[in-house]
Structure 1
Amino acid sequence: MAPVYMAFLRFMGDETEARNYSYSLEVGGNSRKLTWEGTPRSIRDSHRKVRDSHDGLIIQRNMALFFSVGDRKELKLRVTGRIWKEEQSPDAGMCIPN
């Protein structure tokens, strides 16, 4: 198997609490960006379980080198992210980012 790089967020709480939040991770370079958005996984889930479920930002080595800063011989990725709590709208019954 070819190497891949993966980033994901785990929440300090149980799965029910984690569902109240959303997050995004972004890697960019060469005037392009790749974004992953999802619900964080509970810290009670092992990193192997999260990895095996492919629930995160997954970048293959050739793509990682493409996004890498520098001469593409050395891996230098910048991954940025944000997390927010979803708030239930009392009127519409839909989630609104906080």
Structure 2
Amino acid sequence: MHDGCTFNHRYVKSNPHEVENATWMLTVFNCFGRQFCLHFEAFHIGMAPVYMAFLRFMGDEDEARQFSYSLEVGGYGRKVIWQGVPRSIRDSHRKVRDSQDGLIIQRNLALFFSGGDRQELKLKVAGRIWKEQ
């Protein structure tokens, strides 16, 4: 578990073309005395391979609405930013993924952000959680 309301997380995969074999990763954060789960996974939208990052709150939906979060990923002078309300842990990760309620990065853009010869995924996802007033 990580303590703090800001984070920089790296995701590295040696063969980013094996989207169907990619496992999803989960990191737990303690922020404002509450716990949040950062998810990162690879899947297809139609035929397009994508990566998705999103945050879930360990509590119910009403409590989750008290918080907001942002995620950003980028490289080479470009950046993609997502801002939203964390989903309750009571919603399955599949439900959140299928609703596309998070930061979605097409594989080609993710490889561009990763640099190099586009044969390895190296993404840094930065994020912040804050409490709504």
Structure 2 length as normaliser, TM-score?
0.63
Secondary structure in 2 matching 1:24: strand
Displacement of 1:49 in angstroms is 0.2
Displacement of 1:72 in angstroms is 2.1
Moved more, 22-31 or 66-75: 66-75
Structure 1 length as normaliser, TM-score?
0.85
The structure that has the greater radius of gyration is 1
Structure 1 residue 46 and structure 2 residue 92: aligned? yes
Q: How many residues align?
A: 87
Cα distance in structure 2, aligned partners of 1:26 and 1:72? 20
Per-residue Cα deviation, 1:33-72 (whole angstroms, up to 9, x for no partner): 1000000000110000000100000011111111114332
Letter paired with 1:66: F
Displacement of 1:31 in angstroms is 1.1
Structure 1: 4+ residue segments shifted above 6 A: none
Structure 1 partner of 2:4: none
- Root-mean-square deviation over aligned CA pairs: 0.9
Unaligned runs of 5+ in 1: 88-98
Which of these residues, 57, 80, 85, is aligned with residue 131 of structure 2? 85
Cα distance in structure 1, aligned partners of 2:83 and 2:115? 23
Structure 1 residue 37 and structure 2 residue 80: aligned? no
Secondary structure in 1 matching 2:122: coil
Structure 1 residue 4 and structure 2 residue 50: aligned? yes
Structure 2 partner of 1:58: 104
Moved more, 43-52 or 61-70: 61-70
Secondary structure in 1 matching 2:48: coil
